[in-house]
Amino acid sequence: MSEVLWRPGLRFGSYPQKPESRLTDFEQGAAAFFDKIVKRLTRKRYSLTYVVEQVNRHAEPLRHCNEQQLTIAILALREALSRQGLTEVLMLRAFALIRETADRTLNKRHFDEQLFGGWLMINGLLAEMETGEGKTLTATLPACTAALAGIPVHVITANDYLAGRDADMLKPLYLRLGLKSGAVVDGMALEQRRKMYQNAIVHTTNKQIAFDYLRDRIEIGEDTGPLRFQYRQIRQDVTEQKHEALIMRGLCFAIIDEADSVLIDEAKTPLIITQTKPNDESPKTYGDALYLASSLFINDDFVIDAKSRDIELTSQGENTLADMAIGLGPNWKNKRWRETMVKQALIAEYCFKRNKQYILKDNKVQIIDEFTGRVMEDRSWEQGLQQMIEAKEGCLISEQREPLARISYQRFFGRYLKLAGTSGTVREVAAEMHRVYGLHAVKVPTHRISKRRLLSERIYTTQAAKQRMFLQRVNELHTLGRPILIGTGSVAESLEVSDWLEQAGLLHRVLNAEQDQHEAEIIAHAGQLNAITVATNMAGRGTDIALGLGVAELGGLHVIALNCNESRRIDRQLYGRCARQGDPGSCEAILSLEDAGLREFYSSAILKTLTGLANGDQALPAWLGNLILRLPQTYKERHQRSVRRQLSKQDKRLSRILAFSGKFE
């Protein structure tokens, strides 16, 4: 009896996707609980020893195959998988064949632990693998196995750089197995995207694929029934109307690298695809709004909630605005419109800073993803905020945009027929992964014992003391010849740290959203003798910094974090750049009570009390420093979890409304 194959065909149609779940939160939680029990009852099937023994048994005959015999084995396996599906025996046989092929084409042979991680993923689980354990190579096992069975595979990662890098690096393996592959990244034309999605394995990012799916949903329109949809596809093939062709082949099997970043960190904001519309307001209107905003006084006329980036006008502020707006034009007489415009101007002025939330590139305002530190091409803020920031920076005012379709990551990834993933920092959010996406996390042992030395975090009372101690520490390490990676929270902070190092006469490189075109070159140099690299979160995920000659003997790469991230997981990702695959390495954090992340959370009275607990340039006691850092992170993690839950509930309500109205999305 053949196993069900998650691919286009009679069972799942020409555009496969899972039907929308109608379960309540309680029912969804109960289903996740019983699924967890089933996984525990069948844990022998998910044990490292069992998987490795079975793969090795199939691998023995392959060791002595010549290239022609290997090709015959690949073709035979492909036919068997296509006919019988993903049976346990065939998947184990595929793993043995893929490992042998990778050894010959990439000169990389999967470790036993990677075999286990791949086995978890092909069975729809989340493999928790420590940073540096080779998750990219591990993902080739489930990806190639599914692709050999004719299942379209999407390998999804956190940014375009990683998607393009992985696709290029793994192409020799894919080609030897007879599999076409490619990467869908930002800037690709629509026809080129459509061509790439015809490949067996597609490397891309969560944003790229979700927006391409929304484009397909817009194109599909109200062809809701499967028969109508099938007829539409047949008619399209006959008439060859390429401009109406769908981009993707459905949502069959997704393997998500850095799963916590994609499914958790980025899941608090819905994805909205828009179209341009004529700008209702003139550049002068935005200028007037900014002028009025600059005339208001904080706390007297308005109050700021820094945590939610929201601003509320006081009664005094409303009256002041009404007086100042006299003579500006008819629109300014409308109280609601007037206050909305000025609030947006205040938000643009106080809550969105250049080189933190956005950069200016080619005289355009470009948004920075605060989780990855990368530019988000072709993205814009809504409700006039984009235009207000452009006016603030003196840029050409762009057209406004109106929404055409929206979807959350929770709904989008829930529509894949099969979902799997891997991450090194998943334990804190494992329960949410299971409840929302049905992904059960299993820990994968490390291949080698980690040699990473985690030094205690040091918190100083002032920014000046932090700067002095930081430069002293960098000088000590640089004198030894050890490479140093310095993690910062924004473009502005990376430039400030660069100035510190320049004034101290220390040669260094900077990696942020403004230097993204040099990323590969900077990363390649970051592990060499005497290298000093200042980076934003761009260097925090998926970045493999190879050690130069003689560096391991000196102690390996040293990582210094200079800011308090929103989550402990993001801290661990940065620290994970050092001491990979058994190499030596060390990491530490050097912070101050004047850092923005701590100032926004703690009151001035608490900060003043904490300042009195340290003498001069001495750091606060280690136990206290740890507590000071963890409290804001715990609060922010809880808040973000609440935001994601509310978004999911809102999405379900919207889904029910659309289903009742008969619309497809």
646 is in an annotated binding site: no
The span from the CA of 353 to the CA of 293, in Å, is 16
What are 366's strand-pairing partners?
A: 359
Tokens of 167: 């696709």
- For the chain, helix (H) and strand (E) counts, in that order, are 25, 20
Number of neighbouring beta carbons within 10 Å of residue 225: 10
Three-state DSSP class for residue 128: strand
Secondary structure of residue 17 in the 3-state scheme: coil
Alpha-carbon distance of 259 to 74, in angstroms, equals 30
- Give, as one character, the DSSP assignment of residue 599: H
Inter-residue contact 636 to 644 (CB < 8 Å): no
212 is in an annotated binding site: no
Cα 334 → chain centroid? 42
């109307």: which residue's tokens?
241
CB 510 within 8 A of CB 494: yes
Determine whether the annotation assigns residue 134 to a binding site.
Answer: yes
Contact (CB, 8 A) for 551 and 581: no
Locate tokens 């008819």: which residue? 330
332's CB contacts (< 8 A; 6+ apart) are 288, 325, 338
Q: According to the annotation, is 114 in a ligand binding site?
A: yes
Residue 358 in contact with residue 366, Cβ under 8 Å? Answer: yes
* Exposed/middle/buried for residue 481 (C-beta within 10 Å: 0-12, 13-18, 19+): middle
Under DSSP, is residue 461 helix (H, G, I), strand (E, B) or coil? Answer: coil
Q: Which residue, among 564, 537, 581, 432, has the nearest Cα to 159 in the 3D structure?
A: 537
Give all strands (DSSP E) within 100-226, no chain letters: 126-128, 153-157, 181-184, 201-205
Q: Do the annotations mark residue 79 as ligand-binding?
A: no
Residue type, 110: H
Written as six digits, the tokens of 110 are: 């999967």
Rg over alpha carbons for the chain, rounded to the nearest Å, is 27
Does 514 count as an annotated binding residue? no
Collect all residues with Cβ–Cβ distance below 8 Å to 550 and sequence separation of at least 6: 481, 529
> Where do the DSSP E strands lie in 280-387?
302-305, 310-313, 358-361, 364-367
Q: Among candidates 488, 423, 90, which has minimal Cα distance to 264?
A: 423
Say whether 555 counts as a known binding-site residue: no
310 by DSSP, 3-state: which? strand
Judge contact between 577 and 557, C-beta under 8 A.
yes
Residues with Cβ within 8 Å of residue 328, at least 6 apart in sequence: 288
- Sign of torsion, CA 59 61 66 71? negative
Residues 6+ apart with CB under 8 A from 650: none
Residues making up the annotated binding site are: 114, 132-136, 544
Residues making up the annotated binding site for ATP are: 114, 132-136, 544
